[in-house]
Structure 1
Amino acid sequence: MSGDHHHHAHRELPEFPHARRLTLLLLVPAVLVTLVGMLLLWPRDTPQAEGAAGPAVVTGEVVAVTPQECPPVPEGDTPLENCGTVQVRLDDGPVITTDIPNGPGAPTVESGDDVTMLTLNDEGSTSYSISDHQRGDELWMLGVAFALAVIAFGRWRGVTALGGLAVTFAILLYFIVPAILDGRSPVLVAVVGAAAIMLVVLYLTHGLSMTTTIAVAGTLASLAITAILAALATGAVHLTGVADETSNFLTITRGDVNMRGLLLAGIVIGSLGVLDDVTVTQSATVTELALANPSYGFRRLYSAATRIGRAHIASVINTIVLAYAGASLPLMLLFAAGDTPLDELLTSQMIAQELVRSAVGTIGLVAAVPITTALAALLAARRSRPVAAPPVRAEPRPAGDPWAAFVDKDQ
């Protein structure tokens, strides 16, 4: 009984001969190539952040807010809003007085709020200007709630998922971003970094098994397809990678960064998050189908799992489009308010960049389903192949048994 429970807890098919060798034949070269790539691309001369030349930042707590009526302005000028003063107790003791923040995007402050302020020195006098709220404590609380929710539902699997998330951030912050700043090819850095993230996260989260190995193989193949398609599409559409204020500012401050390559890198890394979801799901689906139906061969496993994959892809495509639409909502409102023609809107650099990102990522996802499903079905059919059992002698049944005909028919 305990052995049966142990087997189904892991939901793994019996190993077929040479399965471990096949896993190592895929895993070892992938790990070696990824490590060599990281060593060759590792940043060696990353620009160090210089001390901020702007005004000093101080923090404090709002003690009181005293609104006042705004003075009149000349006719035709924009009327003033949010006039008055704010008293703030600085963290180092003294209480200072400053103006209520105003203007587009200015923070709304109340008594008890923790704020950050800019220190302005002008002709020997020091003044302060509230720039933003302090939100570190709230973000930490949200992070703890997120971690507790993941662990409460996923248990040990949730712990490993959080570990995988930490690995992802570490590779992004300590390898991918510094290497691109160091002048390395953004596409190569993204592919190698994505492979490192995938190898560590998938095996850490899902365990060292044949099901995970198949998902890794499918993800690697789909990542390669996505990178090639992204390069072809961005070249055909003549995208430069400079489409918004952030990329413009980066071009000015870091002129040696290949912006088109950075766009390609973003497409590859952005695709990885959804790719591993699809490949793990397809690999696990085939395993479950083979466990539930040991008599299924390659064709029936592939057909059944592909039907599930189609439903998954249909929902994922909608998810991708909605995610990009949500992120671009302010831009869409701006274009709509400006009464921009639809064809001009869709062919603009910024919208075209998002369309290419969505289309290439979706094609990579679509390719991941048949690749991963075929690999998983091929290996599952071999692993679940029934072993010939000795013939079972039928027990004689009493005459007139109403179930005899059905049982005999099944046998």
Structure 2
Amino acid sequence: MGTTRKDILFVLFLALLTAGLTLLPSGFGGRSGATDGAAREKALILRTDDSTMRQFGIVRTGDQGLTIRVLSGRFAGQELEAVNHLMGRLELDKVFAPGDKAFVVLDPDESGNAVAKANVLDFYRMDIELVVLALFSLFLLVFAGWTGAKALLSFLFTALMIWKVFLPGMLRGWDPVLTSLGVVAALTAAIIFLVGGMNRRGAVAFAGSMAGISITCVLALAFGSAFRIHGAVKPFSETLLYSGFAHLDLTKIFLAGIFLASSGAVMDLAMDVAAAMTEIRSKNPDITRKELVLSGFSVGRAVVGTMTTTLLLAYTGSYSSLLMAFIAQGVPLANILNMQYVAAEILNTLVGSFGLVTVAPLTALAGGLLLVRK
């Protein structure tokens, strides 16, 4: 199925929209408390002073003195003294060694020509992150060509929609469920019509995806209250309440995240069924609507068998350390299943998987209506 004029216009429209999102301010800049005009730069660790660090078992506390050389920006070449504060928490602490690259925040003095304070935040990772992104983009373009370019555009559009619209919107007090549904609908349309094309196949995949996502949303709201899970179960959720956002409904944010997290797998399954039905229709133009729907059911049954474990593996991987801690301590299974952290992931997995199961037959029905003309 070739590229049409409608496809090209849609790609151009989405490219312009992505560029606009890049320039769109989030509205929450300057809340970190950093001095105005602070520079965020790359620095080299020259020397360390570990004399005031203390080791307690596997954790360290105290301070680590650092001598750094700024490698970028207007203060490049300057050597400065800084302190790395250790809190005794492995997930937050970092210990530097000479030769490491660090990400630093430099607060200039009143003249603006010298650094008043250097704050070493963490290891510098943006260079390797850009390398990985470049490799991902290169392999995608080489393997998939024009389709890969459209997939890359949809990837960037999705990231910007989440960072510039979804997250700031909820911080402003927008309804989490409605915001999530709106963002998911926009992302679904962009991704499916970019990859699938502005045609009947794309329309079938979009209709099936939105039907499955809607069912997942309804189930999340219906069973969320029955599970009695507070949204603070997610990491850093409670921190938001103490950071000036006490108006946030953490539970609704948690429930909205359920169908947002499963929407990617739902789109994948809907596109699989829609593409298969389109191919069947092109090879057999005289196929009846009933026969095509039954063929869609058959394809859906084959695909859904593996897709239902996708969310289980994803959530299990993200919480493997928690489950290992329970098993290592000999916690009974009944205790584990009733813990809020575990119950939250069970709700995530089962509700998301239920949406995957329903999207296949719904996409098949949509394909029968849109692909076969009387």
Same topology, TM > 0.5: yes
Pick the structure with greater CA Rg.
1
Tell whether 2:212 aligns with 1:225. no
> Tell me, what secondary structure is at the counterpart of 1:112?
coil
Name the structure 2 match of 1:309: 300
State TM-score, norm by structure 2.
Answer: 0.77
1:290 shift after superposition: 2.1
Q: What is the alpha-carbon distance in structure 1 between the residues aligned to residue 161 and residue 83 of structure 2?
A: 43
**Identity level (%):** 24
1:187 shift after superposition: 0.4
Name the structure 2 match of 1:322: 313
Residues 269-305 of structure 1, C-alpha deviations (whole Å, 9 max, x = no match): 1121111111111111111122233443233333333
Q: What is the alpha-carbon distance in structure 2 between the residues aligned to residue 231 and residue 305 of structure 1?
A: 29
* Aligned pair partner of 1:161 in 151, 159, 168: 151
Check 1:377–1:50 CA distance in 2 against 1; reply closer, same or farther (3 A cut): same
Q: What is the alpha-carbon distance in structure 2 between the residues aligned to residue 52 and residue 66 of structure 1?
A: 28
Q: What is the alpha-carbon distance in structure 2 between the residues aligned to residue 365 and residue 214 of structure 1?
A: 16
* Aligned pair partner of 1:367 in 345, 354, 358: 358
Tell whether 2:191 aligns with 1:201. yes
* Aligned pair partner of 1:332 in 313, 323, 326: 323
Q: What is the alpha-carbon distance in structure 2 between the residues aligned to residue 80 and residue 273 of structure 1?
A: 39
CA contact (8 A) 1:176 1:189 kept: yes
Name the structure 2 match of 1:213: 203
1:165 shift after superposition: 1.7
Q: Which runs of no fewer than 5 residues in structure 1 stay unpaired?
A: 1-8, 13-45, 121-125, 384-411
> Tell me, what secondary structure is at the counterpart of 2:233?
coil
Q: What is the alpha-carbon distance in structure 1 between the residues aligned to residue 53 and residue 372 of structure 2?
A: 81
> Tell me, what secondary structure is at the counterpart of 2:174?
coil
Q: What is the alpha-carbon distance in structure 2 between the residues aligned to residue 158 and residue 245 of structure 1?
A: 34
Task: Name whichever of 128-137 and 260-269 sits farther off.
Answer: 128-137
- Indicate the structure with greater strand content: 2
Name the structure 2 match of 1:277: 268
C-alpha RMSD of the superposition: 3.3
Report the residue type matching 2:99 in the other structure.
Answer: G
1:58 shift after superposition: 6.3
1:313 shift after superposition: 1.1
Q: What is the alpha-carbon distance in structure 2 between the residues aligned to residue 190 and residue 366 of structure 1?
A: 21
Name the structure 2 match of 1:353: 344
Q: What is the alpha-carbon distance in structure 2 between the residues aligned to residue 285 and residue 179 of structure 1?
A: 37
1:319 shift after superposition: 1.6
Matches within 5 A, 1:2-401: 9-10=1-2, 48-53=28-33, 59-63=42-46, 78=57, 87-91=67-71, 92=75, 93-96=77-80, 104-105=90-91, 106-107=93-94, 109-117=96-104, 130-253=120-243, 254-382=245-373
Residues 105-125 of structure 1, C-alpha deviations (whole Å, 9 max, x = no match): 5445454331135789xxxxx
Residues 203-230 of structure 1, C-alpha deviations (whole Å, 9 max, x = no match): 1222110111111111121121111111
Report the residue type matching 1:235 in the other structure.
Answer: S
